[in-house]
Every structure is written in structure tokens, then in C-alpha cells.
């Protein structure tokens, strides 16, 4: 083999080696630009916020008179304006848990003007009995306010509620019983 033939072979070998090295470098560079499975960050999924409701007024310590209008106010989050809101007031009865008197079920507007009842239910004796003597006597009775957001979906029944932090007072003529 002459020197020209040898030089051509060396040149071909160098070109092949250079092309191979360049291909390898390009492959490594491209593969390092694409994230591997361990580098892929899954999308962040934010769970939906839970609905809530809270009483603004009366939230405790207020003094109301019978047959007068008062604006009940509440705040809510993650509840639609069409959500049904049940508003009620619950008497404080010594040594007992009682039900509520429903004022109204309305939509989630954030407020409702409540005209208080004509009379106040009888007051508690030390033994827990409720009475008025005589009926019609002017008394002050303590109540809690309650608001409940009702979910109308029977597949996912969930209600959120709030109760006033303390009682409000309702003063007026007494009637015996509830």
C-alpha cells in the first residue's frame, strides 16, 4: 500500500470517528434536555375549598324587643347565592338541649330582616321547668341564633352551619310553653 492509500484510509477513519463522536455528543445533549421520568413534576391539584358560613349579627350580647325588625347578617364562602339558608333561634333551657324555632328558609343573600315574635316563651325555673306567672308578664329570655346552609344534592348531602358565639336577649310579653 502506498502512502496515498494509507493517508486516505487514515482520513476516512478520522472522519468516521469524528462523525461518531459528534453524533454521541448530540445524543447526550438532547437526552439531557428532556426530563427523565424522575424529573417530571406532576401537575398540582388544588382540592376544592370547603363551604363555610358564619353569623355576623346577632352574634351574642344584643338586646331585642318583641315585634320589632332586626337584620340578621351572615357571611359565607364557597356557597352559591341560590344555596338555601335556614335561620332559627334556640332558647337556652337549663339542663336541657332543645330544638330551634325556625325563622325562615331563604336564599344565600347574606342578610334577612326578621320581625321578632309577639311573645317570648316562658322562662326557666331552677329545676328547668318553663312557666309564666301570670301569662303576659314581661320577661327577657336568652336565645342562640343558628344559620344552616342546606345542600340540595341528595347524592352529596352536606350542610354547614354556625351558631352565635353567645346568646342574645329577647324581651316581651311571656306565654307559657313553647
Q: Is 124's pLDDT higher than 60?
A: no
- Averaged pLDDT for residues 26-45: 65
**Residue 178: its pLDDT value, please?**
47
Query: What CATH architecture is 52-175?
Result: Sandwich (2.60)
**Residue 141: its pLDDT value, please?**
87
Tell me: the pLDDT tens digits for 129-148?
456 666 667 888 899 999 99
- The rounded Cα 151 to chain-centroid distance in angstroms is 12
Tell me: the pLDDT tens digits for 51-106?
999 999 999 999 999 999 999 999 999 988 999 999 999 988 766 667 778 899 99
Rg of the chain over all Cα atoms, to the nearest angstrom: 38
Rounded Cα distance, 129 and 139, in Å: 15
Listed by start position, the domains of the chain span 3-39, 52-175
Tell me: the pLDDT tens digits for 6-17?
666 766 766 666
Stated pTM of the model: 0.66
Residues 50-59: b if buried by 16+ CB within 10 A, e if exposed:
ebebbbeebb
Instruction: Determine how β-strand 168-175 pairs with β-strand 138-150.
Output: antiparallel
Amino acid at each position: 500500500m502506498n502512502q496515498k492509500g494509507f493517508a486516505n484510509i487514515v482520513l476516512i477513519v478520522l472522519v468516521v470517528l469524528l462523525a461518531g463522536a459528534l453524533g454521541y455528543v448530540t445524543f447526550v445533549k438532547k437526552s439531557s434536555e428532556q426530563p427523565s421520568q424522575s424529573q417530571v413534576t406532576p401537575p398540582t391539584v388544588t382540592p376544592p375549598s370547603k363551604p363555610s358560613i358564619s353569623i355576623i349579627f346577632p352574634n351574642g350580647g344584643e338586646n331585642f324587643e318583641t315585634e320589632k325588625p332586626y337584620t340578621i347578617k351572615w357571611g359565607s364562602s364557597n356557597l352559591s347565592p341560590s344555596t338555601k339558608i335556614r335561620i332559627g333561634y334556640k332558647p337556652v333551657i337549663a339542663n336541657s338541649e332543645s330544638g330551634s324555632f325556625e325563622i325562615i328558609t331563604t336564599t344565600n343573600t347574606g342578610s334577612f330582616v326578621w320581625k321578632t315574635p309577639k311573645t317570648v316563651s316562658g322562662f326557666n325555673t331552677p329545676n328547668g321547668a318553663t312557666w309564666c306567672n301570670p301569662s303576659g308578664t314581661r320577661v327577657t329570655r336568652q336565645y342562640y341564633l343558628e344559620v344552616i346552609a342546606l345542600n340540595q344534592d341528595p347524592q352529596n348531602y352536606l350542610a354547614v352551619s354556625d351558631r352565635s358565639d353567645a346568646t342574645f336577649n329577647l324581651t316581651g310579653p311571656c306565654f307559657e310553653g313553647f
